[in-house]
Structure 1
Amino acid sequence: MSQAFSALWASIVRTFVPLVVGFFLQLAVTLNIPLDPEFENLLAGVLTLVFTTLYYVAVRLFETYISPKLGWLLGYAKSPDNYTADSPAKHKAE
């Protein structure tokens, strides 16, 4: 697998996993709560956005300040600093 494809795959996984977590958190919160159908859709969208953002930010902070190994909570333990060929980490290694 090429380095470019590997980096692309890691970025896709690290984007998709928080979306899935945010969706299931919103589903758990709105489950069995009787709401107007129009409001329910709006609430589901807003809660998914909020939970996804909070989850991603929390994991990135843990990964940055506690341990890089916690990146697996985003589905892939590789730090985004190494995703691109022009990253500062790559230039330091050269």
Structure 2
Amino acid sequence: MTVYDWFVSLWRTVIPTLVGFAATALAHVYIDVDEQALATALMAGFITVYYGLFRFLEARVNPKFGWFLGLARPPAYPPKPTPEPQPVTRNPNSPYGPPPV
């Protein structure tokens, strides 16, 4: 993963968090709640719904919906290379003796 891809993934996490915070703050204007746990749950709910909605719209409708997550393209991760098979080597000096035949 490149530094840019790392930045993109981080940025696309920060934007929904900020939107969730703002939505929770606006909800407190209209809802008289003093409970810290309810505020935390509201923020987590707003973040989850916001991120899920715009990821769905980005993938299914139009990639431009990615701008609502901060950048118009998701990070691209290169595929992991497949490891080459290693030849099996036998240790003639094994403390357990020679392998059974």
Note whether the superposition's TM-score is higher than 0.5: yes
Aligned-residue identity in percent: 31
Give, in angstroms, the shift of residue 32 of structure 1.
Answer: 5.5
The aligned residue for residue 90 of structure 1 is none
The aligned residue for residue 67 of structure 1 is 62
Contact (CA 8 Å) 1:69, 1:77: kept in 2 or not? yes
Task: From the CA coordinates, give the structure whose radius of gyration is larger.
Answer: 2
Paired with 1:34 and 1:67, the residues of 2 have a C-alpha distance of: 38
Larger helix proportion, structure 1 or 2? 1
Distance 1:70 1:34, change over 3 A: closer
Alignment partner of 2:16 out of 12, 15, 18: 18
TM-score (norm 1): 0.77
Contact (CA 8 Å) 2:54, 2:69: kept in 1 or not? yes
Taking only aligned residues, the RMSD between alpha carbons, in angstroms, comes to 1.7
**Count of residue pairs the alignment pairs up:** 80
Give, in angstroms, the shift of residue 17 of structure 1.
Answer: 0.3
